[in-house]
Amino acid sequence: MDFDELLRQGKIKRIFRAKRKITSLNLVSHITQCAAGNAPLFLEDSDYLFMLSNLKEVSLKRSLDVYAFCLMPNHLHILLRPRRAELQEAMRDLFARYAMVFNRKYERKGHLFGGPYRQAVCLDDSYLLAASLYIHMNPARAGLIKDPREYRWSSIKLYHDLNAPPSFVKPSFVLGLLAKERKKQKEIYSKLLDNSITVDAGDALEKTDVVSSFRKVLVRNFPAVFSKLRKQKQIARLTGLELLDDEEIEQAIQGMRDRKTKISPDEKKARKFLVEQLIARGYKRKDIATKLGISVKTVYNIFKVQT
């Protein structure tokens, strides 16, 4: 089943976590994986280095564009885009090989990881930026280091250091959202990162809406930056799916509920468009009816037209 079909069925959420992953090509995902229980994933520098060399090898073999990463002592984050529909195969190669080598090295048995990796789909540019910042601020949030720029086992150096060496990681995809000039890109990203450190975002391994909540704080603190992102539609160009961000959804809903405000000359088309956007975020019919101030039967009729 492809990504478009899942959208039509209303099974895609802003953050999508499921046993059956979405493997569509060009779909940007925030991947998380953690150790079983309180066990560590990395004990020595050589463990971190092996994971990175493994990630580089898999990205070349499976045609992955890696945009950001952070390796923590007992979990990891990767922001990536598969250019072929091989996400599951790529993650299998990455994690199975690492577990085999780690278990052999430390003469241990049993599962190294605490279950299947988790996937959070980036459906718009603002979520993509928030996910990258969340990944890079992790070491500071966990108390491993005060300034995340000093953390060795993440891609942060590529995002702030103008003299960073070439890498298989491609920060320009995210940084390009912020400005055209390379120096300006990194200045803005560093400013956003400084602001992110103080945000109590929660744990992405435990809560499904952490990055969405984190994004909302950033939108309030940096309205000009995120207003600009709405015009770029980088994710939309990649996926062919142009989704409204959270603020645009709320504004459209408010306009729909306000009888004095017309959000479109054709209210029926506007209503259908809103329903499609809410379906893409996993809302049920009853929730959609409540949000839009219409009956469940009306929503059902819109569903029928849509499908």
Which of 282, 285, 199, 244 has the alpha carbon at shortest distance from 17?
A: 282
pLDDT of 162 above 80: yes
Angle at the Cα of 34 (from 12 to 104), degrees rounded to 5?
135
Walk me through the domains of the chain, giving residue ranges and CATH numbers: 3-239 (3.30.70.1290), 246-306 (1.10.10)
Q: How confident is the model at residue 289 (pLDDT cuts 50, 70, 90)?
A: confident
Burial class (CB in 10 A: 0-12, 13-18, 19+), 293: exposed
185 touches 174 (CB < 8 A): no
What average pLDDT does this structure show over 243-270? 64
pLDDT of 14 above 70: no
According to DSSP H, which parts of the chain are helical?
3-8, 45-61, 87-105, 125-141, 156-160, 172-175, 182-197, 210-221, 223-232, 234-239, 246-257, 267-280, 285-292, 296-306
Looking at residue 277, what is its pLDDT?
A: 66
Strand order across the 75-82 sheet: 64-71, 75-82, 29-34, 118-121
| Locus of tokens 């952070």 | 70
Q: How confident is the model at residue 270 (pLDDT cuts 50, 70, 90)?
A: low
Looking at residue 282, what is its pLDDT?
A: 58
The bridge status of strand 64-71 relative to strand 29-34 is unpaired
In our burial notation (b when 16+ CB lie closer than 10 A, e otherwise), range 134-143 reads bbbbbbbbee
Looking at residue 306, what is its pLDDT?
A: 46
Rounded to two decimals, the pTM is 0.78
Residue 164 is given by DSSP the state P
Could you give the 3-state DSSP secondary structure of residue 154?
A: strand
Looking at residue 67, what is its pLDDT?
A: 98
Who contacts 94 (Cβ-Cβ below 8 Å, separation ≥6)? 54, 55, 58
280 touches 274 (CB < 8 A): no
For CA atoms 234, 238, 239, 242, give the dihedral sign: positive
Burial class (CB in 10 A: 0-12, 13-18, 19+), 222: middle
pLDDT of 152 above 90: yes
Q: Between the CA of residue 201 and those of 130, 190, 254, what are the distances in Å?
A: 11, 18, 27
Looking at residue 243, what is its pLDDT?
A: 66
What average pLDDT does this structure show over 42-53? 97
Of the two residues 37 and 128, the one the predictor is more confident about is 128
CA 78 to chain centre: 9
| pLDDT digit string, tens, across residues 178-205 | 999 999 999 999 999 998 887 776 665 5
